Structure 1
Amino acid sequence: MKAIGIILAGGSNHRMKELTRKRAIPAMPVGGSFRCIDFALSAMSNSHIQTVAVLTQYNARSLNEHLNSSKWWDFGRKQGGLYLFTPTVTADNQDWYRGTADSIYQNIDFLKKHHEPYVIISSGDLVYKMDFNKLLEYHIEKQADITVVCKDMPAQTDVSRFGVIRMNEEFRIVDFEEKPLQAHSNTISAGIYVFRRRQLIEMLERSAEENRYDLVQDIIVRYRDVKRVYGYKHKEYWANIADTQDYFKTNMEFLKQGIRNYFFREEPKTYSKIADLPPAKYNIGSKVTNSIVASGCIINGTVESSVLFKKAFVGKNCVIRNSIILDDVYIGDNSHIENCIVESKSTLRPNSYYCGEGEVQVVCEQFERYML
């Protein structure tokens, strides 16, 4: 592969509420057995990108633990590999990453010491599959300086929180507005970009000299009329996790057979760190319908249209409906959970009742489970 990869995984987001108090969004569990960052890592591995850097910053411990071995994504090579970069205080720099462009600039030696002609950059909070070889072929065919992967959203979608793009007949980007008050297109940036490596280095150095720190606003948008910037339409599944509603919807979509087969069964596969846990156990009296139940779970009650992550315990006579139960949650007997996201390691007392009204409720309870 003629490209190196960069995954941006360091941003904070208050719209995820309690869910990002102890982890970054790229470390959020997805689909029963994945972390959000697994999709970008798998796409790069499946596209034979051998050298990938992950830039972390906010609440990075959980993410660092997940990435402590590169073998799960087949990056454990003598040539290339998986690099993990966090902000570093040096004699020349005392700052944390001040933006996406600054995070790459502070690790610009990674770009300079490699010789691949292209760089593929992906956000770490996306759920998708992509063949980056086809993306790079398109980039070369168009003789582009920058290629932005974009996605046509359904007409009723609120696109005001995305970067909104307009292209001409040749797919050259003529307008790129980040989070517009009023959108004039339903085509959005998917958070994946291709740059020529040497040119990216030049633009990053110039932006740093001018105290500009954002990859989209200060490089892509700013150079839109100067450089050859093209859009590449991604027509397969794509989701961005930016708030609790996005997170809930994305996990619920894994209950659809087509989406589930796309990620679980169809090639190329999505890879993740494997936990050595026993299969889920369904005791007498349990009933599970239209749900994903991960390894290590013990089910004694009723689970309907829900996603249960690893080591969840559901007590007797419980009803779990239309909910997401994260890792290592204990739910006491006779409890009712509906339209909720239960944070990992939570302990819910017997006879608990939680029901999201209007919007999804995030439940965080830290009772001492062994005293119940």
Structure 2
Amino acid sequence: MPKKKKEWIAMLLAGGQGSRLCSLTGKIAKSAVKFGGKYRIIDFTLTNCVNSGIDTVGVLTQYQPHLLNEYMGTGVPWDLERIWGGLKILPPYQRQHGADWYRSTANAIYQNIDFINRYAPDYVIILSGDHIYRMDYRKMLEYHKEKNSDCTIAVLDVPLSETGRFGIMSTDPDGRIIKFIEKPKIPESTKASMGIYIFSKEKLISYLEADDADAESSNDFGKNVIPSILAAGENLYAYEFEGYWKDVGTVSSLWEANMDMLGPEPRLNLNDKVWSIYSRQDSRPPQHIGRLAVVENSVVTEGCEIYGSVINCVLGSGVRVMSGASVRDSVIMDDVLISEGASVDCAIVDTGATIGAGARVGAPRDESLPPFEVEVTVIGAGVFVPSGVEVTPHEKLIMV
């Protein structure tokens, strides 16, 4: 039976180390970091693919891939277990002329041109596996076709103070990109690249081959490929996205994105029945809230036992907060124990850590500061904070 060609496929970059997340990515890839109590960061991009009708996703992994690979498996939780297409994990591999690590974003895609050609798609969408957002990529594809674009970049407006973190572009009234600068010191626009690109397949391959042949290139989409396309006068357009989007590549932004889930009208509302976020779940019992417990404005996941106070928090599975313990404005990942009389404020506590009786982690939140200026204390996976010890906001404890 002949294989049916695909209209489009997704290539998902998930090999990043995420060094700015400190100990949270010491032994796992950034895309595998827990988020929102029951998810991992990569769930959002995979869900977007499925909900957008994309049934073939190549996931490019490299740094500490074992947990991420095990988590994704064959793609069952996202309905991506397919005979033809589906979810395919694409690590660097031995070729006829030797092996090579993925050197950067464009090089990673270049090394998998054979995978792309196998499905003969008309279009390829390039995605990042470390952003939190919900997006219907079909609307972007329609825009790409309408503009007869060779490459379309998803953009959103960011505060002027944050432009130095992104590729920034200027456009004409029709949306055509006329200038692109990666992480400018003096920006001329606030339109920031979301790291989402749609290419016509043949154009993508020609761009990647030219980039690989350039000995001076660092093989990065933002630094090299996009500026080259612009310089060549190709049809390069910006697709403006107006929904919630967060790059969670720092401790502060990861904490802030979790906090965005809270409140009566949260900025990040995951209670959307039409666009549910899919993930692989462990089998856990229901959460138990003790008679004297206090729980306010928090996400409490399966298997939690709460006997103390939890306010403005996101708790992962199996978290135990014992009597007299207080947890505020914090992200607590799976299987953490907060012992009797302990307090945790403005912190991220990673999987399996133990906060001893009477210990103090972090400091109460200064409500006068915007979220991105809050000092967040990090306790690494498996760390034991002894009873009575104080961990200040300037400290980060990791297990070596």
| TM-score bucket (shorter structure) | over 0.9
Deviation at 1:244? 0.4
Q: How many residues align?
A: 368
Aligned match of 1:307: 314
Whether contact under 8 Å (2:244, 2:267) holds in the other structure is no
Q: Indicate the residue corresponding to 2:28 in structure 1.
A: 23
Equivalent residue in structure 2 for 1:32, among 19, 31, 37: 37
Once the two structures are superposed, what CA deviation does each residue of 1:4-49 show, in whole Å capped at 9, x if it has no partner? Answer: 0011111122211111102111111111111111111111101111
1:230 has 2:231 as partner: no
Greater displacement, 206-215 / 274-283: 206-215
Contact 1:50/1:79 (8 A) holds in 2: no
Distance 2:353 2:271 in 1: 28
- For 1:249-260, what aligned pairs fall within 5 Å after superposition? 249-259=256-266
Kept in 2, the 8 Å contact 1:334–1:350? The answer is yes
Query: Which piece of structure 1 moves more, 144-153 or 16-25?
Result: 16-25
Aligned to 1:204: 208
Could you list the per-position Cα deviations for residues 185-205 of structure 1 after superposition, in whole angstroms to 9, with x for gaps in the alignment?
111001111001111112112
Residue matched to 1:159: 163
Instruction: For 1:260 and 1:206, locate their aligned partners in 2 and report how far apart those are by CA, in whole Å.
Output: 42
- Give the corresponding residue for 1:283: 290
> Is 2:114 aligned against 1:97?
no
Counterpart check, 1:12 vs 2:3: no
Q: Report the CA distance between 1:234 and its aligned residue.
A: 0.3
TM-score by length of 2: 0.88
Identity among equivalent pairs (%): 36
For residue 262 of structure 1, report the CA deviation from its aligned partner: 3.4
Choose from 145, 155, 176 the match for 1:150.
155
Q: Indicate whether 1:359 and 2:375 are aligned.
A: yes
1:69 lines up with 2:86 in the alignment: no
Q: Which moved more, 1:220-229 or 1:350-359?
A: 350-359
2:262 touches 2:297 (CA, 8 Å); kept in 1? yes
Answer yes or no: is the 8 Å Cα contact 2:92–2:99 preserved in 1: no
Return the match for 1:270 from 274, 277, 293.
277
Give unpaired runs (5+ residues) of structure 2: 1-5, 365-373, 387-400
Q: For residue 31 of structure 1, what is the amino acid of its counterpart?
A: G
Is the CA contact 1:100–1:215 (under 8 Å) kept in the aligned structure 2? yes
Q: Secondary structure at the match of 1:93?
A: coil
Report deviation, 1:308: 0.5
Q: For structure 1, which runs of at least 5 residues remain unmatched after alignment?
A: none
Task: Describe the SS at the equivalent of 1:222.
Answer: helix
Matches of 2:92 and 2:353, distance apart in 1:
31
Cα displacement string for residues 220-257 of structure 1 (whole angstroms, at most 9, x for unaligned residues) = 12111321110000011111111001100000001134
With 178-187 and 114-123 compared, the bigger mean Cα shift is at 178-187
Q: Which amino acid in the other structure matches residue 230 of structure 2? A: R
Question: RMSD over aligned Cα, in angstroms?
Answer: 1.8
Equivalent residue runs for 1:101-120 within 5 Å: 101-120=106-125
Q: Is the 8 A contact 1:25 1:241 kept in 2?
A: no
Report the 3-state secondary structure (helix = DSSP H, G, I; strand = E; otherwise coil) of the residue aligned with 1:239: strand
What CA distance in whole angstroms lies between the structure 1 residues aligned with 2:123 and 2:96? Answer: 30
Distance 1:168 1:93 in 2: 45
Counterpart secondary structure, 2:140: helix
Q: What whole-Å deviation, never above 9, does each CA across 1:317-363 have from its counterpart, x for those lacking one?
A: 10000011011111111100001111111112111101147510101
In structure 2, the CA distance between the partners of 1:256 and 1:229, relative to structure 1 (3 Å rule), is farther
Task: Write the distance in 2 (CA, Å) between the matches of 1:24 and 1:150.
Answer: 25
Shift of 1:261: 7.4
Q: Which amino acid aligns with 1:224?
A: L
Report the counterpart of residue 221 of structure 1 in structure 2: 227
Deviation at 1:260, TM superposition (A): 7.1
- Aligned partners of 1:317, 1:29: CA distance in 2, in Å? 27
Tell whether 2:148 aligns with 1:132. no
Name the amino acid aligned to 2:47: S
1:30-83 Cα distance to aligned partner (Å, 9 max, x none): 111111111111111011111101111112122112101311111112232100
Query: How many angstroms does 1:304 deviate by?
Result: 0.3
Determine the structure 2 residue equivalent to 1:337.
Answer: 344
* Residues 267-301 of structure 1: per-residue CA shift (max 9 Å, x gap): 12211112211111112221100000111111111
| Aligned equivalent of 2:3 | none
* AA matched with 2:187: A
Q: Which TM-score applies when normalising by structure 1? A: 0.95
Instruction: Tell me the distance in 2 between the aligned counterparts of 1:113 and 1:257.
Output: 47
**Cα distance between partner residues in 2 of 1:368 and 1:167:** 52
Structure 1 residue runs of 4 or more that deviate by more than 4 Å after TM superposition: none
Q: Distance in 2 between matches of 1:289 and 1:367?
A: 27
1:184 to 182, 188, 206: 188
